[in-house]
Amino acid sequence: MTMTADTSTRYREFKMPDVGEGLTEAEILKWYVQPGDSVVDGQVVCEVETAKAAVELPIPYNGVVHELRFEEGTTVDVGASIISVDVAPGSAEPAPAAPAPVAADVAAEEPAEPAGRTPVLVGYGVAEASTKRRARRGAPGASVPEQATAAETAGAAIQAEMNGHAAPTVSAAPTRSRPLAKPPVRKLAKDLGVDLATITPTGPGGIITREDVHAATAPATATEPAVAPAPAAVAPAPASTPVAEPAAAQAVGAATGRETRIPIKGVRKATAAAMVGSAFTAPHVTEFITVDVTRTMKLVEELKSDKDMAGLRVNPLLLVVKALLVAIKRNPEVNAAWDEANQEIVLKHYVNLGIAAATPRGLIVPNIKDAHDKTLPQLAEALGELVSTAREGKTTPAAMQGGTVTITNVGVFGVDTGTPILNPGESAILAVGAIKLQPWVHKGQVKPRQVTTLALSFDHRLVDGALGSRVLADIAAILEQPKRLITWG
């Protein structure tokens, strides 16, 4: 007698979770599985983008993919079923209807994207994006126990990464059809065009680390390329100033001969709404100052050879960050927020310093928590981590919340300065222009000096002209005479 499984319990539906503090929708960027693929609890099945960040989603079931409910590029409401899994494969049943067409086999290569580099962090560049997708999980040739062991270990690493904990260790690296690596490491390998299967892992339990990926690309990336020119991103994220879309993103739009229409969604949609709200809520005032930073540039070169800064990224932005923090220490009233509901000014006794970053998905502002308590080497390390995370597209919503003031370095694009728009909820934003060799009166004589222009926008409800002027003048004075970092700091 033929037994038929109860279809009400045989198929489990995985619904779009709320991956970011009350967000109502997310776009499916990429499927990593197809109907018929075996999956295990904890295995990443897709990548989605919310209004704040891109996130990889692990499936909570063991079984075989039955159907993908939505195609790549579809925006889905939180709570909607996005994938069904057959948790009792092999049971007799009528043949299921053919699923809706989705992305091509994940083992296939995507069309090549145009070459070039897009600035990720203002002041930094990114590697070219890889065109390879991940290899399908559970590849033929591996036994079922081996597949499960590998995927379960990978799932544990993924869950640990999402929870902010270290990945669990195992006694030995299991035989596996899919290399073990955390989501950020996989994204880094994808961006650098590295096949994880070719890397020898050095992490605990046979997990591939970030260092392993970089080691595999060391010959090709020994010299960091220059940042590609791009439109000035004066406003931080969220920001109303458009940032040039990568060619790959433009290709997604609907082309009609002379025009291309690109859907506004995800980070860019949230950015636009937030900047409109900021521009028409907080009364902006912007002040400018041009300053000789020749001594600061000399200090940067000295710090690069300092053993205490070995292995850290040292550049002018680092000293601008320190100068702003010292200026806030001397003028603490500038570090505040306006509470409209309670009709109060909230003075902040900490500085969460935002750094505007231009990414392929839009402009974002991750911030360095408690930057006021960090030493110069610690600030350099924090900036480096912020760069790497932004480059991998893994900046979390938490990293973009709670900022108090922001820096946007438009000088990397050759721009002299601009009038930046405040990040919502913050009191001030400093724009740093290009540092150029210019004729300057120095000690009574006209000499070539390194000169830049700074612009400080502030909320005039919180900061009056005198306070804003003192802050900007202090920043300029420090950059002109960096020894003030010691005498004032």
Q: Which helix (H) or strand (E) holds 442?
A: strand 436-442
Q: What percent of the chain has pLDDT over 70?
A: 67
pLDDT at residue 405 in the model: 96
pLDDT at residue 275 in the model: 66
User: Do residues 478 and 423 share a domain?
Assistant: yes
Whether residue 167 has pLDDT greater than 70? no
Q: What is the CATH number of the domain that holds 410?
A: 3.30.559.10
User: Do residues 367 and 418 share a domain?
Assistant: yes
Whether residue 232 has pLDDT greater than 60? no
Identify the residue with better confidence: 136 or 286. 286
Among the ranges given (78-82, 184-188, 366-370, 471-475), the one the predictor scored with the smallest mean pLDDT: 184-188
Whether residue 173 has pLDDT greater than 70? no
Q: Is 66 a catalytic residue?
A: no
pLDDT bracket for residue 255 (50, 70, 90) = low
Whether residue 404 has pLDDT greater than 90? yes
Among the ranges given (33-42, 185-194, 309-318), the one the predictor scored with the smallest mean pLDDT: 185-194
Q: Which of 165, 214, 284, 460 is catalytic?
A: 460
pLDDT at residue 17 in the model: 87
The three state secondary structure string of the chain is CCCECCHHHHEEEEECCCCCCCCCEEEEEEECCCCCCEECCCCEEEEEECCCCEEEEECCCCEEEEEECCCCCCEEECCCEEEEEECCCCCECCCCCCCCCCCCCCCCECCCCCCCCCCCECCCCCCCCCCECCCCCCCCCCCHHHHHHHHHHHHHHHHHHHHCCCCCCCCCCCCCCCCEECHHHHHHHHHHCCCHHHCCCCCHHHEECHHHHHHHCCCCCCCCCCCCCCCCCCCCCCCCCCCCCCHHHHHHCEECCCCEECCCCHHHHHHHHHHHHHHCCCCEEEEEEEEECHHHHHHHHHHHCCHHHCCCCCCHHHHHHHHHHHHHHHCHHHCEEEECCCCEEEECCCCCEEECEEECCEEECCEECCHHHCCHHHHHHHHHHHHHHHHCCCCCHHHHCCCCEEEEEHHHHCCCCCCCCCCCCCCEEEEECCCEEEEEEECCEEEEEEEEEEEEEEECCCCCHHHHHHHHHHHHHHHHCCCHHHHCC
User: Do residues 339 and 458 share a domain?
Assistant: yes
Task: Classify residue 113: in a domain, yes or no.
Answer: no
pLDDT at residue 209 in the model: 85
Task: Classify residue 37: in a domain, yes or no.
Answer: yes
Say how many domains are in the chain: 3
Dihedral class, residue 334 (left if φ above 0, else alpha if ψ from -120 to 50, else beta) = alpha
pLDDT bracket for residue 189 (50, 70, 90) = confident
User: Do residues 287 and 212 share a domain?
Assistant: no
Q: What sign for the dihedral angle of Cα 87, 89, 92, 95?
A: positive
User: Do residues 353 and 420 share a domain?
Assistant: yes
Whether residue 128 has pLDDT greater than 70? no
User: Do residues 96 and 125 share a domain?
Assistant: no
- Picking from 74, 106, 138, the residue at the C-terminal end of a domain is 106
pLDDT bracket for residue 145 (50, 70, 90) = very low
β-pair type (428-432, 445-459) = antiparallel
Task: Classify residue 112: in a domain, yes or no.
Answer: no
Statement: the pTM of the whole predicted model exceeds 0.85: no
Whether residue 421 has pLDDT greater than 70? yes
Whether residue 20 has pLDDT greater than 80? no
User: Do residues 352 and 401 share a domain?
Assistant: yes
Mean pLDDT of the chain: 76
Collapsing DSSP to helix, strand or coil, 103 comes out as: coil
User: Do residues 339 and 409 share a domain?
Assistant: yes
When pLDDT is averaged across residues 347-372 and rounded to a whole number, the result is 90
Q: What is the CATH number of the domain that holds 49?
A: 2.40.50.100
pLDDT bracket for residue 208 (50, 70, 90) = confident
* Structural domain boundaries, residue 178: 121-226
User: Do residues 415 and 310 share a domain?
Assistant: yes
Task: Classify residue 336: in a domain, yes or no.
Answer: yes
- Picking from 79, 106, 133, the residue at the C-terminal end of a domain is 106
Task: Classify residue 315: in a domain, yes or no.
Answer: yes
pLDDT at residue 253 in the model: 57
User: Do residues 319 and 429 share a domain?
Assistant: yes
Among the ranges given (56-65, 182-191, 269-278), the one the predictor scored with the smallest mean pLDDT: 269-278
pLDDT at residue 8 in the model: 60
Q: For residue range 301-315, what is the model confidence (pLDDT) as tens digits?
A: 999 999 999 999 999
pLDDT at residue 38 in the model: 92
Instruction: Report the C-alpha gap between 212 and 55 in whole angstroms.
Output: 23
Task: Classify residue 474: in a domain, yes or no.
Answer: yes
- Picking from 106, 137, 159, the residue at the C-terminal end of a domain is 106
Q: How many residues does the chain have?
A: 489
User: How would DSSP label each residue in 114-155?
Assistant: PP-----BTT---PPPP-BPPPPSS-TTS-HHHHHHHHHHHH
User: Do residues 312 and 437 share a domain?
Assistant: yes
Task: Classify residue 239: in a domain, yes or no.
Answer: no
pLDDT bracket for residue 477 (50, 70, 90) = very high
pLDDT at residue 219 in the model: 47
Task: Classify residue 237: in a domain, yes or no.
Answer: no
Q: Can you list the positions of beta strands (E) in 190-335?
A: 207-208, 254-255, 260-261, 284-292
User: Do residues 127 and 97 share a domain?
Assistant: no
